[in-house]
Structure 1
């Protein structure tokens, strides 16, 4: 029970859906002989109970999720551990030892590399939004300042809301400072690029996934967390505008969420690919997965642009792109030996409706005539979020049976090899091949 709870805590804190966490914990418990254990997952706590017989007192254990920093390196290690347990390559004693090692070890990337990754992501988002080299450079500088300030604030255990306030204020003040110089820069694009950076780590997809799979309590909690984080950005931008005006800096007409004019399609695709790859590095994804994530995102961005140009709405374009990501992520994740979540979440970062949420809450805060526009923006954001999450999940559902059939076909068509077998079939695959051939 302790091993299952520690595995579930790591998965939940890394952004996995409550349904995936519950299924993983129950699979490990059943395989290790703990039959009919009850698992309960909420946003901040996990509990597991077991009753040996009707006459015994049930045993209950709980763990609280202490941190929510996305860590794909630890998530991948835990996923490999679960696979080894389920294939009898690790017993209970070895599994608990490996789990303790995963928690205690550091990361392959140094912390300064994560700061550099956030800077690259902000610069790529600037390109994705249609900004020039100056916008990208200023956005990258703001990302470095935001990351270092948030690290200092997190060490003092300030709530995440205040970290978002600081990030929005830094982006706005720096944009105002650069706009006051002779440098020709659009401060709205700078602020927008950093807003996407601040919104990238919010679990909108996890919230929608939990709602689709029936975990409404966890979905509501994650959605409230996303709203509070977005409200922190709004408060930070408002604070930054007040500070800039107080020291004599003028932003002009600031339009957070503004998108520039696209010069060409390759710039959009490169911006999307680099931003998702940089986000994966900032979340400590294994190095072998970074390039595939960027390539998948570029193709998904091309698919999204094609659907949107064909006359369909933004939600439809996001849904089709997400379906492609979910369909491909399952196969690519198996090739690079990472969970599909590590591939899917960074790939959908450029398509997240963070800007629509920001616009909607900003209009609602202004009140009056803008309330209707705010409601419309929020409805658009909700439809895009549902399209992204449902598209990825549907792609995963379709990809799993396709991969099984592809393995069967590969086994049937495999002929003589010059040296050794092409791939050693597992025991389950050999049984499936015998059943399919009628033996």
Structure 2
């Protein structure tokens, strides 16, 4: 294999891992990697994405043996810093502004900076702000909100340490749930308050969502069923680990705390005050964006989008009495479309924006309460879990529908603009690098299995 081909493969694997680990769908990632191959002059290329693995194969000449390389991808959390810089480098390469050597150097520099930069303080602060937001959304008082901030920050530091020592994901989540309950119980006993459940949920709700929820739906729509199944299993395993840790901690703590602190009780979002509800949503979205490395304009954009999602939900359910699940679907559709429109302005794909913006509405609370209700016989666990599933479906399908409608409208507008600028040109073949690069930020709902996807 030639040195140039080696660099191309390294570039492909760096780009693919950066996209997949932060929630990009298999179809979007495949389209991007095929576009890179086309720009690099690599023909007869096939990209295959399965659970935790990326395979790229190409045939140098007709009749020759194909060359294949496999790259393993470990699960990861949303990293806005890495994702935005990766997409910027990919776009500049596809537009011909940089060559493969410079693109490869930039990715190596990103990787080195990622290893050396200290992110613990903004990650910890971000999760503290997120915990504050969830506590406000659930109607927690000042003391409970303070406890939610402290527990969220401690759990964040625990996850960071477990990641550094290479602990398996399910045990990391179990440890996080276990520590969250013990810390919340201890804090509530010291402060003589009884909102431990709100404190625990506030610290763990974001962990229940996962960064791949929306990509599961997109992979299913585009026919990547194996990838969708793998992402779904990853979400289920991590959630099961978290719930198990919480359940064990509750069972272990109950004999010592007695009835003074209620660790298992049903709580719901407090929508009585619009101000506090929207403020809580803004803190949740902004906190998660900060914890994920989103700064400056991206932090502002995600905070505003989170506030807007909550405001739209309140308007529909409180002013117009729209049924809850339909309102969630409608909000998801609107926010999904807006995320596509602003994605290029903030240089971040719509999936990442939508994940953060809709986080306050994600049914982490219902998943948590449904599972614990089953373990401890409180309330109707079946109803809670069914509500969680329906809410997940409405958010994911609504967000995906909004992305699809707006991305198609933007693509048609770009097509008309191309025809006015090049009346004798063919949009399918002329300046292919232009439309491939401009399409990176848009979600893909087609099936680009064996070549760069042609457009009509």
Q: Deviations over 1:181-211 (max 9, x none)?
A: 4533411211221221322445222222222
Structure 1 residues 298 and 108: alpha-carbon distance in aligned structure 2, compared to 1, 3 A threshold:
farther
Q: Which residue does the alignment assign to 1:424?
A: none
**What is residue 61 of structure 1 aligned with on the other side?**
69
More off after superposition, 394-403 vs 321-330: 394-403
Distance 2:414 2:63 in 1: 47
Distance 1:37 1:297, change over 3 A: same
Structure 2 partner of 1:400 = 407
152, 169, 172: which one pairs with 2:181? Answer: 172
* 1:252 Cα offset (Å): 4.5
Distance 1:5 1:219 in 2: 20
Checking the alignment, whether the CA contact within 8 Å between 1:179 and 1:251 is kept in structure 2 is no
Aligned to 2:387: 380
* d(CA) in 1 for partners of 2:121, 2:251: 31
Deviation per residue, 1:62-96 (Å, 9 max, x gap): 10013513211111111111111111111122211
| Structure-2 residue corresponding to 1:195 | 204
Match of 1:110 among 87, 97, 119: 119
Q: Tell me the SS of whatever aligns to 2:24.
A: coil
What is aligned with 2:353?
343
Aligned residue number for residue 367 of structure 2: 357
1:26 to 34, 55, 59: 34
Shift of 1:57: 0.4
CA contact (8 A) 1:109 1:284 kept: no
Q: How far 1:364 moved relative to its partner?
A: 4.3
Matches within 5 A, 1:281-296: 281-296=290-305
Aligned: 1:323 with 2:333: yes
Whether contact under 8 Å (2:194, 2:261) holds in the other structure is no
Distance 1:181 1:366, change over 3 A: closer
**Equivalence for 1:425:** none
Alpha-carbon deviation of 1:287? 2.3
Cα distance in 2 for partners of 1:323, 1:10 equals 26
2:129 is the counterpart of 1:120: yes
Whole-angstrom distance in 2 between the partners of 1:236 and 1:54: 56
8 Å contact from structure 2 (residues 340, 406) kept in 1: yes
The alpha carbon displacement at 1:329 in A equals 1.2
Q: Which moved more, 1:357-366 or 1:268-277?
A: 357-366
Structure 2 CA distance for aligned equivalents of residues 189 and 39 of structure 1: 45
Change (3 A) 1:380 1:35: farther
Alignment of 1:232-271 (within 5 A): 232-248=241-257, 250=259, 252-255=261-264, 258-259=267-268, 261-271=270-280
* Cα drift, residue 15 of structure 1: 1.5
Q: CA deviation at 1:101?
A: 1.5
Where does structure 2 lack aligned partners over 5 or more consecutive residues? 1-7, 425-456
Length, aligned pairs only: 414
For residues 269 and 57 of structure 1, the distance between their equivalents in structure 2, rounded to whole angstroms, comes to 59
CA contact (8 A) 1:125 1:193 kept: yes
Q: CA RMSD in A?
A: 2.6
The range that moved more, 161-170 or 310-319, is: 310-319
Distance 1:113 1:182, change over 3 A: closer
Q: C-alpha deviations, 1:293-315, integer Å up to 9, x for none? A: 11111111111223333444433
- Which runs of 5 or more residues in structure 1 are unaligned? 409-427
**Do residues 92 (structure 1) and 111 (structure 2) align?**
no
Q: 1:83 to 1:256 in 2, by over 3 A?
A: farther
Alignment partner of 1:180: what SS?
A: helix
In structure 2, distance between residues paired with 1:59 and 1:321:
46
**1:316-373 residue CA offsets vs partner (Å, 9 max, x unmatched):** 2222111111111122222223322332211111111222222333344458x97xx4
- The alpha-carbon deviation at position 264 of structure 1 amounts to 0.7
- Cα 1:257–1:280 change in 2 (3 A) is farther
Q: Is the 8 A contact 2:206 2:364 kept in 1?
A: no
SS in 2 for 1:46: strand
Q: Who is 2:445 aligned against?
A: none
Deviation readout 1:93-149 (Å, 9 max, x if unpaired): 221111211222138773212101110110111011122222211000101111122
**In 1, are the aligned partners of 2:214 and 2:351 still within 8 Å (CA)?**
no
Which whole-Å CA distance do the structure 1 matches of 2:108 and 2:414 have between them?
Answer: 35
- Judged with a 3 Å threshold, the aligned counterparts in structure 2 of structure 1 residues 205 and 109 are, in CA distance, closer, same or farther, namely farther
